[in-house]
Structure 1
Amino acid sequence: MNTKQYDIIVLGFGKAGKTLAAKFGSMGKSVAMIEENPLMYGGTCINIACIPTKTMIIAASKGLSYDQVLNQREVVTSRLRNKNFGMLDTNEHVDVYTGHGAFISNKEIAVTAGEDKIILSADTIVINTGAVAIKPNISGIDTATGFYNSTEIQQLPTQPSTLGVIGAGPIGLEFASLYAKLGAKVTIFNIESSILKREEPIVQELATEYLTEQGITILNNVTLESVSNDGDKPVITANNQNYTFDAVLYATGRKANTANIGLEHTDIATNERGAIVVNDTCESSVPGVYAVGDVNGGPQFTYISLDDFRIVFGALTGNSQ
């Protein structure tokens, strides 16, 4: 199989990666951008996180119906997604590959799309594959239906009248508030003694007050025993009691998306949580291979990813932004 050579390969269409691709493309460097999911052009923030959830919350606050809220979400995300794709696709020095990318050696990535496969090679590779939801370790979670992560819950075709939320961090609370605004009866299951465990007590208290005012039930110090189904409805068994809902969201953290990108064929080191180990310039244990954004285990914020762009661009050019 032929190998196509580039100056730079970017694996994943996130904030840092797309900005690096656009910047180096504008400088005349040959760049390959690989993205597995066409619904993720532009990265996590604009497609499944910050922007769509805030769009849904604002729409719900205006009293729009569930269908109208979903439509508002799609209008905003599709517009931004198309803009981000076009930014690279119209650059004559950038090739966008839509397919699954996986390393086959330190400096080679195989891209597979259906029956088609191509091998790309570059001296400089940037990994920007983001993070994925962590499925909680609860008995029955792998077989029960009606349990969704934060991406899946945004795409339910009909609004649940009752929603269970496993987890009381920022993601779980945001969706709890959203669905309460839409009129759902929401119950939060929290294994800790208070919500937002990493925040100061005053923040925890105020958030509890605001959520309670929205009619949300918060169960703290919960022991989650199992999950199951009653017909087609999801059931949470906690503290020796069954709770039945129309849908359940599990928001129990996110981890670096490194499981299926072929790192076992490389010398790229990961830590105990699966994140790629990097130095101060976001360079991995393989010289010339960088990991930016959520995949390197840092704080999971878009502005952190954008700063990773600045760091890597400076390391590669000596010209920091």
Structure 2
Amino acid sequence: MGGGPAGLIGTVGASHLGLKPALIEQQRLGGDCLWTGCVPSKSLLASSHLGHAMKRAGNMGLQEVDASHDSSLAIERMRKIRSKIALHDDPGRLLQMGIDTHFGSARFKNPTTLEVDGIGTFTSKRILLATGAKPKIPDIKGLDQIEYLTYENVFDLELYPESIGIIGAGPVGVELAQTFNRLGSKVTVFEVKDRILNQEDTDVSVRMKNILQKEGIEIHLESDIHDISVDKNQRTILTSGQEHFIFDSILVATGREPAINGLNLEAANIEVVNGTIKSKSTLVTSNRRVWAVGDANGGPQFTHFAEYSAATAVRNSLLPFPKSVEYNCIPHVIFTDPEIAHVGLTELEAASKGGKTFLVEFKELDRAIVEGKSEGFIKVSVTRGGNILGCSIIGYRGGELIQPVVLAMKHGLTLPQIATTTFAYPTMGEGLKRSAMAYQKSRLEGPLGLMLKKCIAWIK
């Protein structure tokens, strides 16, 4: 159930293993990632980043370019890219793999049977619930009386508004704030918590806030919105502090929640707790014939996790000794400029477990300097023995730099092993190597280092 990344990977995987899967999708294949998430947002971010760089060409010894941009051109490019990538999920292509695709709203009729509007019923010993997520809308007075944007309809705009208020400073809110700002909108962000990107490392959050503010984005923290009203297409936000803000558009980016309404889960004996399907670490629900995967599972809301969870669920549905999902090695990236990437524990979380953190500023990396991208840092948290507990990055190519850390954590590689690995020069990857060398240097300050120095002194 569901034709997003999790549903697609699940059905393709089942087909490769010799099963005859049926894919049921309510609207269109590809899910949020293709139509209202990763693909359109990253396309517009790419356009906005290039436009921003054009304005600052003087920093690279080139002539600066006029800063004005027509956002409709970036939007047109985004839609062409989205249509091109959509071909990867064409039903005809799936049919060649032995996968039948059915479009319609589905719900459980009993623990092993699904009923699909206009099509009929499907009975199976194995059902993957991959229905994705939907915008989480806050309870704000007046919000239901106006037209507002969410990640589901923001990419339907033909032209960006002159001014926009964004409610929520999580990954979606921050990415779109920078996109709108760089493509010409006046952006104001409201966040009820005491910092943006509240789930990230504190230093990362503070650094990103400073960058956004330098670009002209107005940010209000610990800002509780009391009321929203509209007059002549102008939307007014009233905060609890009695401050008034007027915008052409309002974007609500306060998170996402599993899209499980209307599935008649009770008929399938599937337990739901606080709006989330209850499942084990093996992804099986209270119905042993149903596995919840992707965003519907209530876990990390990333495409790569959706694909990973679907593959794990298919494996567990067929083989004995089910495998648990490993959450500690699931990375995530926020595609702002500079990028933010993280895996594992934050510095504070690692410290609570006795870990130590080593930080390298990008301004110390020759590649970052020559690229004009010296804003940012990498910090790696480790145990006393050098096992990696987590890593946070803010900076140029952060999403690429996190990958070797994920690989190291997954397969138990330590910082001492990374320290003895030769990295190409000049590359951004040297940031990880320098973190490892900083760890090695710290060991020289302890008893082992003292003993080594005595041995060297004796040899001399």
TM-score, with normalisation over the residues of structure 1?
Answer: 0.89
**Number of residue pairs aligned between Structure 1 and Structure 2:** 303
Structure 2 residue 3 is the aligned partner of structure 1 residue 13: yes
Q: Distance in 1 between matches of 2:98 and 2:201?
A: 48
CA distance in 2, matches of 1:134, 1:189: 16
Q: Is the 8 A contact 1:88 1:96 kept in 2?
A: no
Q: Which residue number in structure 2 is paired with residue 215 of structure 1?
A: 216
How much has 1:244 moved relative to structure 2? 1.2
CA shift in 2, pair 1:109/1:228, >3 Å: same
Amino acid aligned to 1:203: V
2:86 is aligned with what amino acid?
Answer: R
Number of the residue aligned with 1:198: 199
For the pair 1:111 / 2:100, whether they are aligned, the reply is: no
1:21·1:88 contact (CA, 8 Å) conserved in 2? no
Identify unmatched segments of 5+ residues in structure 2: 52-68, 324-460
Indicate conservation of the 8 Å contact 2:5/2:31, yes or no: yes
Alignment correspondent of 1:151: 152
Match of 2:278 in 1: 277
Relative distance call for 1:266 and 1:119 in structure 2 (3 A) is same
**Partner-residue secondary structure (3-state), 1:103:** strand
Please point out which of 125, 128, 132 is paired with 2:127: 125
Letter matched to residue 246 of structure 2: T
Hey, what does 2:49 align to over in structure 1? Answer: 61
Q: What SS does the aligned partner of 1:123 have?
A: coil
Distance 1:193 1:92, change over 3 A: closer
- What SS does structure 2 have at the residue aligned with 1:62? helix
Which TM-score applies when normalising by structure 2? Answer: 0.63
Which amino acid in the other structure matches residue 106 of structure 1? P
Q: Does 1:51 align with 2:51?
A: no
Give the stretch that moved more between structures: 96-105 or 86-95: 86-95
Cα displacement (A) at 1:141: 1.2
Post-superposition Cα deviations, 1:282-312, rounded to whole Å, max 9, x if no partner, equal 1110111111011111111112112212321
What amino acid is the match of 1:52? P
The equivalent of 2:22 in structure 1 is: 32
- Give the 5 Å matches for 1:69-84: 69-84=74-89
For residues 232-311 of structure 1, what are the structure 2 equivalents within 5 Å? 232-238=233-239, 239-272=241-274, 274-311=275-312
Bigger mean CA offset, 57-66 vs 100-109: 57-66
Distance in structure 2 (CA, Å) of the matches to 1:70 and 1:267 = 44
**Cα distance in structure 1, aligned partners of 2:93 and 2:314:** 17
Distance 1:103 1:214, change over 3 A: same
2:133 and 2:296 in contact (8 A); partners too: yes
Following superposition, the deviation at residue 92 of structure 1 comes to 5.6
**Is the 8 Å Cα contact of residues 170 and 196 (structure 2) preserved in structure 1?**
yes
Shift of 1:85: 2.3
Q: Which amino acid aligns with 2:22?
A: A
- 1:162 touches 1:246 (CA, 8 Å); kept in 2? yes
Q: Which amino acid aligns with 1:242?
A: H
Q: Distance in 2 between matches of 1:45 and 1:87?
A: 20
SS across alignment from 1:142: helix
Structure 1 Cα separation of the partners of residues 234 and 112 of structure 2: 48
Q: Which structure 1 segments of 5+ residues have no match?
A: 1-10
Which of 81, 90, 93 pairs up with 1:85? Answer: 90
- CA RMSD in angstroms comes to 1.8
Query: What amino acid maps onto 1:43 in structure 2?
Result: G
Distance (whole Å) between structure 2 residues aligned to residue 191 and residue 92 of structure 1: 48
Partners of 2:230 and 2:277 lie apart in 1 by: 37
Q: Which residue of 2 aligns with 1:3?
A: none
Task: Tell me if structure 1 keeps the 8 A contact 2:136–2:256.
Answer: yes
Structure 2 CA distance for aligned equivalents of residues 109 and 143 of structure 1? 36
The amino acid across from 2:231 in the alignment is D
Q: Distance in 2 between matches of 1:231 and 1:106?
A: 51
Give deviations 1:151-179, integer Å, cap 9, x for gaps.
21121122100010001111111110000
Measure, in 2, the Cα distance between the counterparts of 1:200 and 1:16: 28
Q: Distance in 1 between matches of 2:307 and 2:108?
A: 24
Select the structure that is richer in strand.
1
- CA drift at 1:87: 6.7
- Measure the CA separation in 2 of the matches of 1:235 and 1:103: 43
Q: Distance in 1 between matches of 2:158 and 2:100?
A: 35
Letter in 2 for 1:209: N
How far did 1:130 drift?
A: 0.9
* Structure 1 position 65, deviation (Å): 2.5
SS in 1 for 2:277: coil
Query: In the TM superposition, what whole-angstrom CA distance separates every residue of 1:257-279 from its partner, at most 9, and x where no partner exists?
Result: 1112221322001111x111111
Deviations 1:190-245 (CA, angstroms, capped at 9, x unpaired): 11222122222211211111101211000112121011101222221112122111
Q: What's the counterpart of residue 229 of structure 1? A: 230
Structure 2 residue 131 is matched with structure 1 residue 135:
no
Matched residues in 2 for 1:92 and 1:204: separation? 44
Larger Rg: 2
CA contact (8 A) 2:6 2:306 kept: yes
